[in-house]
Amino acid sequence: MFNYYMALAVLSLKRNVVLTVLMIAAVGVGIGASMTMLTVFRAMAKDPIPNKSYELFAVQIDNWGPRKSFSSNGDNLSEQVSYTDAMALMSIRAAKRQSAMYATGAALTPEDPERRPFRVHARATYADFFPMFSVRFRFGASWTAAEEAERSEVVVIARELNDKVFAGANSVGKTLNLDGHPFRVVGVMEHWEPIPKFYDLNDMYGKSEEMFVPFGRAIENQMPSWGNTNCHDDIGAPGWDGHLRSECVWLQFWAELPTAADAEHYRSVLNNYAADQQRSGRFHWPPNTRVRDVREWLTYQHVVSNEARILVLVSFSFLLVCLLNAMGLMLAKTMGRAGDIGIRRALGANRRAIFSQCLIEAGVVGLAGGCLGLALTALGLVGLRSLLSESVSRLTHLSISEVAIALILSIVATTLAGLYPTWRAAQVQPVWQLKAQ
Amino acid sequence: MLKMTHLSKAYRTEVVETYALRDFSMDVGEGEFVAVTGPSGSGKTTFLSIAGLLEEFSGGEYQLDGANVRGLNDDQRSKLRNEKIGFIFQAFNLIADLNVLDNIDVPLRYRGFDAAERRRRTQEALRRVGLPARSRHYPAELSGGQQQRVAIARALAGSPRLLLADEPTGNLDTQMARGVMDLLEELHRDGATIVMVTHDPELAVRADREVHIVDGQVVELSVPSRRIAAASITT
């Protein structure tokens, strides 16, 4: 009977085109508005590294004390760490993998003299970065421990940079001229772009770096931070060494701690380190440290703002209003068909049959409304792209899952809205037909 | 086939109780053609709606084809209505969006017949009413008489045990009315049990017998004059 009811639904919708268009438009507009906001929200709130988000921890140490704190979270903790603390934690090696890192960059001079040099965004980091963040390689691999220890001039490049400079060929072993230094390519990554860029939220919706250089080499080459550096009122002594010895916070620090016991152990190591700093007279306050996994970190950093949540709520309230309108129209349509329903009842249709027929019709309206809603969502996202920054607008695209959500949401919501008109239809008494003659 | 015993139907409001049928008893045998007559408001339509399981009754007993219908739920009544009763309405009551074939197909769908069986039955029913050439037409494209023939085909398609006709010629001109009555008589000759509500004495005389209702009660059970005349000639 499903096919029969589907055919009847299409027939019924064709009978009163104006009412049908109004119903579909009401559902479509509601779905379009809510899905536009939901798509943006989901992109903002999605887990950027779902297979490891509970094993990767951002590390925080309070190296300024309560009087200098600028933390907006009220915990005196900066989102970044100082070079001193980062190097100390790297030497302790209390995690399965760990890495200090910072955003930097260089001018890349192509071998072809016809091509002009261009700026390349880079990240100075340790070899652990790649396995820790599940980065896959197209060619080659990360630099070795020996190369890291020797501070070799090696580089891992992103696939996009490899395409740009080497036309996609295997460039392992080839050399890149970065700020006048020859860096040997040891690995080419597959496309890797976690959104948001959880490991450095200074540019949370920015593109991933085009190349990665060993941390020690970057420091030795005095590659400057292209990220955020906070120094409060203590910028340290002049020069690069002074910057390294200062209490400025400009490095991100991540540790891979696969088990709860690992995390607990790391917390105690971190606290002991801070206690040592207090004892040595560097910190004049009790240990204040924290490790947060990726999920906690994104929440802590307000990656999804309250405004975004409210907008989603408002858009779904609008969907509710649209559905109520659609329900009214469905009710009018149903009552207009009471005659046909009475005939069907007289000819042997029970209430369940009428209920099914009308509910499927509501579902068809939902499906059509969902399709219209998807088109409106696509339009809405185009509109948002013109309003939002380039980095955020990159998020706003309809994926298969969003399409599925829109259609399912539309069908389910419209079917629910159709319950009352459908119930009313099922209450039509067959005798009315006879007595109305 | 149809047996009502001391049946009553009351419509109640907060202040008044009105009986549409009171102490109503009637027995229709298999293969009979019964005309139910009476003035407007006498209870003819209420009788027909109860007989057709479209409406519940307040008291008494009603047996349809040997089954007591008192206390049946909506599902059971719908099933019984679908399987045992064929309706012919005064206003034809065809579904405007469906063509002739699909209109006849409606009760068969609820009966659960497969596509081949439904096709066989609709074509046979159309043949019986003489409209096989109109199968793809929509109701609006047919004359009143043709629409009523389609309605009769729809009623026949499920091979019901009882045909209930409510003023079947009420919306037709004389010529068309005659054609429809001829068809009903032909069905009756083929063995159909027919109960026809009418206020037209000329139609009533074409039935085997006439039941006259006044104020919700059977006041007269008679053999129509034409039948009496026919019986006299036979004897």
Q: Is B106's CB within 8 Å of A12's CB? A: no
HSE of A165, CA atoms in CB hemisphere, 13 A: 27
What's the DSSP call for residue A230?
A: B
B118's tokens: 């439904």
State the Cα–Cα distance between residues B86 and B1, nearest whole angstrom. Answer: 14
State the Cα–Cα distance between residues B93 and B91, nearest whole angstrom. Answer: 5
pLDDT value, residue A433: 57
Q: Where are the domains of chain A?
A: 2-47+305-436, 63-256
Interface test with B, best of A5, A15, A344, A347 (most B CBs within 10 A): A347
Cα-Cα-Cα-Cα dihedral of A179, A184, A189, A193, to 10°? -20
Q: Is the pLDDT of residue B105 over 90?
A: yes
- Cβ distance A269 to A96 under 8 Å? no
Please give the single-letter amino acid code of residue A278: Q
Residues of chain A contacting residue B79, judged by C-beta atoms under 8 Å apart: 348, 350
Q: Which residues pair with A120 in a beta bridge?
A: A106
Mean pLDDT, rounded, for A194-200: 88
Q: Is A124 helix (H, G, I), strand (E, B) or coil?
A: strand
| A430 touching B (Cβ < 8 Å) | yes
Per residue, the 3-state secondary structure of chain B, as one string, reads CEEEEEEEEEEECCCCEEEEEEEEEEEECCCCEEEEECCCCCCHHHHHHHHCCCCCCCEEEEEECCEECCCCCHHHHHHHHHHHEEEECCCCCCCCCCCHHHHHHHHHHHHCCCHHHHHHHHHHHHHHHCCHHHCCCCHHHCCHHHHHHHHHHHHHHCCCCEEEEECCCCCCCHHHHHHHHHHHHHHHHCCCCEEEECCCHHHHCCCCEEEEEECCEEEEEECCHHHHHHHHHHC
Model confidence pLDDT, tens digit, residues A41-63: 887 777 888 889 999 999 999 99
Q: Is B49's CB within 8 Å of A350's CB? A: no
Q: Is A347's CB within 8 Å of B82's CB? A: yes
pLDDT value, residue A390: 65
B25's tokens: 């008893």
Higher pLDDT, B177 or A26: A26
Confirm whether the ipTM is greater than 0.85.
Answer: yes
pTM, two decimal places: 0.70
Number of CB pairs < 8 Å for A and B?
79
Chain B interface residues (partner A, CB cutoff 8 A): 45, 48-49, 52, 54-55, 74-75, 78-79, 81-83, 87, 89-91, 93-98, 106-107, 109-111, 154, 158, 166-167, 170
State the Cα–Cα distance between residues A360 and A365, nearest whole angstrom. Answer: 9
pLDDT value, residue A389: 62
Q: What percent of chain A has pLDDT over 90?
A: 56
Model confidence pLDDT, tens digit, residues A97-109: 999 999 999 999 9
pLDDT value, residue A297: 92
Mean pLDDT, rounded, for A56-80: 82
Name the region of A141 (left: φ>0; alpha: ψ -120 to 50; beta: rest): beta
Q: How confident is the model at residue A388 (pLDDT cuts 50, 70, 90)?
A: low
- For B204, residues 6+ apart whose C-beta sits below 8 A from its C-beta are B35, B37, B198, B210, B224
Q: Is the pLDDT of residue B56 over 80?
A: yes
Length of chain B: 235
- For A200, residues 6+ apart whose C-beta sits below 8 A from its C-beta are A101, A102, A103, A123, A227, A252
Q: How far is B98 from chain A (nearest CA, A)?
A: 9
Q: Is B79's CB within 8 Å of A348's CB? A: yes
Top-ranked range on mean pLDDT: pick from A143-147, A339-343, A431-435? A143-147
Q: How far is A345 from chain B (nearest CA, A)?
A: 7
| A4 touching B (Cβ < 8 Å) | yes
Establish whether the linkage from the previous residue to A196 is cis, with ω within 30° of 0: yes
Out of B49, B97, B158, whose CB is closest to A431? B49
Mean pLDDT, rounded, for A397-421: 88
Q: How confident is the model at residue B149 (pLDDT cuts 50, 70, 90)?
A: confident
Q: Quote the mean pLDDT of chain A.
A: 89
A113's tokens: 């003299």
